[in-house]
Amino acid sequence: MIHSQWILLVGLLCCAHCYENLSRRPTTVLTQSSTYNAQTASIANDGDVHTDDLNCAHTSPNNEKAWLQVDFGESYSINNVKIYYRRDGDGHYNWKQYRFRQFYLDVSNSSATQTPTSLRTRCYKDNTTAPNLPPNIIDIPCKRTARSVIVETTYDPPEDDRDGEHGAILEICEIEVYGCETTCRNNVCDGFGNCTDGCVDGYWGPPACNFKCPADCKELNCIMYNGHCNSCKSGYWGNTCISQCPINCIGRVCDKSSGTCTQGCTSGRYGDTCNITCSPWCVGGTCNKQSATCFNGCVQNWSGSQCDECDSNHYGSSCSLVCNSNCVNYTCNDTDGICSLGCKTGFHGDVCDRQCTSSCPSGCDRSTGQCNGDCPVGKFGEFCNKSCNQGCEDGCMRYSGICTNCIDGMFGDVCDGNCSSCPTGNGCIRLTGSCNDGCTVGKLGDFCNETCDARHETCCSHDTCARYCTQSPIPNTEHMSSLYAVITVFCISLLVNIFTITWIFRNKACKSQDVNQEEKKDTDSISTPGIYDTAEENAGYQELGQLSGPSHYDHLQGPATNK
C-alpha cells in the first residue's frame, strides 16, 4: 500500500501535465442510489484501488437503476475519469465484473437526483454484451466542465438470475476524476492543481487561478502571479485599476501607472493630474497644462507668465494698491509696497513717503534721510540743517562745521574770534588770532591791543612804536620827587609810632611795680580778724586780677570800696 502511494507520488511529480484528482478534494462528496451491506459510496473515494468486494461501494439489488455520483460542490474542468470496478480475481470461480456491462458516464451541474438523464452531458456508454466483460479498470476521457460526475446503469445481468437477484447493481471500488480548476488556461494543470498554462481571462493567482481579476481591468485581463491589471478600463488607473482618473482629466483618461492625465486638462486646470487651478488672473482663466503659463496674458494690475504677481506699479494681495509716486519708475515690491528701485530725488523711507530736508541739494540717503554729497554753502550737518558761523567765508565743513576760511577780522575753528585790533586788510592768523603784519599807529602786542606811551622811550616816536617793544620805560624826575616825598612822610610816621608805643609800655610796667610794693605793706600791718578777712577777700580779687593781667584801675578802686 505504502509502496504504491510512493509510486503514485513520484509519477505525479514527474508528469508535466498530470491532472489533479478532484475526487480527493476535501469538498468532494460521493453518494449512491442505495447501499448494500454498509458498503457506502465513500469507500469509492478512500484512495484504495484494490478491487475485491469489501473495498468497493455497493448498491442494493432489485432496483431498476443504480448510480454513484461524485459532487465537487462547484464546477471544474474535467479531463478524464478512471473507474476501478469489482473483480475478485482471475480464477474461474472468482467474482467478475459482469454487472458493469452497459454502464454510462454522465456529467452535470446538478445532482443525479435533480437532473434527468436527458439533461446531462454524456461522456461514455459501454456497449458490452454477455457473455463478454468490460474492463474492470477503465480510464475514460471526458473533457467537460461540470460540477458532478455520475456513473449509472439500468443493466440487469443474466448471471444474477442463478442467485435469485434482479435489477441494476453497481460495485465501484474507486473512482478518480481528473481535472483542473475551470480558470486554468487550456484546462491544463499539474497533479497539485497548479495551472501550468496560465489562467483564463479574468482570473489570476497561483496555484490554481482561483482569484478573479479586478473588475476594472480592461477585458478582465490581469497578470497571473500578482493580479495586476495589464490595462485599465477608461477612467481608472493603478495596479488593480481601483483608482479613478482625476475628474479634471479630459475624457477622464489617464496613465495606468501614474494617474497622469494623458489627454490634457479641462479648462482652468493644470498639473500632471490637473489638480491645480490656473491663476484667476489669467485672461479667460486658462493656462498651459505643464507650465501653468496663461495662454491669453494677465488681467489688469497682474503680471508674470502665470499671472501670479503684481505688475511693477501695484502691490497687495489683490494687486489693487498703487506704488508710491515717489518710487523710481513707480516700481515697488508686490507684497509690501517698498520701493524696489529706490526713491526719486528729494524723498526717502521704505515707501519714499518722507521728504528730504530742503537743504539737501542732491537728495538724501534712502534709509536715514541724511543728505547725499555736500551741503549748500553756509550749511552743515548730516541733514544740512545747521548754519555755518557768520564769521565763515566760503562755507564750512560738512559734518564738523569748521570754517573753510574766515572773513577779515575773525579767527578760530568756527571763526568766532574777533581780531578787529589788527590793521584793516592785514587780518590775523586763523588759529591764534595774532595779527598778520604790524599794528596800527599807537598799538603794539600780538593782538595789537596794547597802547604805546612815552615810557617806551625810543620804541615810541610821535605815537608810533615797534610791535614787539621790549625796552624799559624812561625814568621821570617829576614822578621820582613825588615818590621820595611819600617815602619820607611814611618813614617819619613810622618812627613816631614806634616811639609812642615804646613809651606806653615802659610807663605801664613802672606803675605795676609800685602797686605791688604798696600791697605788701598793707598786709604786714593788718592784725584784727575782720581786717584780715577783708584782706583775704581783696587778696583773692587781686589773684584773679593777676590771672587776667595787671590792672591799675582795679588797684586804685580797691580802697574806695573798703570805705
Q: Quick one: 43 and 104 in the same domain?
A: yes
| pLDDT for residue 121 is more than 70 | yes
The total number of structural domains in the chain stands at 3
Claim to verify: residue 84 and residue 58 sit in the same structural domain: yes
Convert the pLDDT of each residue in 265-321 to its tens digit: 999 999 999 999 999 999 998 999 889 999 999 999 999 999 999 998 999 999 999
Of 346-360, 436-450, 469-483, the range with the lowest mean pLDDT is 469-483
The answer to whether the bond into 116 is cis (omega within 30° of 0) is no
Helix or strand run (H / E) with residue 84: strand 66-85
Point out the domain boundary residue: 181, 205, 233.
Answer: 181
Structural domain includes residue 257: no
Contact by Cβ (8 Å): 71, 147: yes
67: DSSP letter: E
CATH number at residue 31: 2.60.120.260
- DSSP one-letter string for 406-448: E-TTEESTTS-EE-TTSPTTT-B-TTT--BSS---TTEESTTS
Dig out the grid coordinates for 219 from the structure: 477585458
Q: What is the pTM of this model?
A: 0.50
If asked whether residues 399 and 422 sit together in one domain, one would say yes
Greater model confidence, 429 or 252: 252
Domain shared by 107 and 172, yes or no: yes
Q: Flag whether 558 is in a domain.
A: no
**With contact defined as beta carbons under 8 Å apart, do 366 and 338 qualify?**
no
Q: Which of 452, 474, 496 is the last residue in one of the domains?
A: 474
Query: In this structure, are 66 and 131 located in the same domain?
Result: yes
pLDDT at 13: 45
Q: Give the Cα separation of 24 and 229 in Å (integer).
A: 33
Range of the domain at 414: 389-437
Residue 40 lies in a domain: yes
- Whether residues 395 and 460 share a domain: the answer is no
Q: pLDDT per residue over 137-174, tens digit each?
A: 999 999 999 999 999 999 999 998 877 789 999 999 99
Indicate whether 338 belongs to any domain.
no
Q: How confident is the prediction for the chain on average, in pLDDT?
A: 82
Helix (H) or strand (E) holding 538: helix 529-547
Both 396 and 461 in one domain: the answer is: no
Residue 85 lies in a domain: yes
Based on the domain organization, do 93 and 137 belong to the same domain? yes
Instruction: Quote the pLDDT of residue 541.
Output: 37
Among 181, 211, 228, give the residue marking a domain's end. Answer: 181
Nearest to 87 by CA among 104, 99, 103: 99
Question: Measuring CA to CA, which residue among 85, 178, 175 is closest to residue 128?
Answer: 85
Structural domain contains residue 170: yes
Least confident window among 57-71, 402-416, 481-495, 547-561: 547-561
Pairing of strands 354-355, 347-348: antiparallel
Give the pLDDT confidence score for residue 239 in this predicted structure.
95
Whether the CB-CB separation of 252 and 236 falls below 8 Å is answered with no
Structural domain includes residue 77: yes
**For residue 121, is it within any domain?**
yes
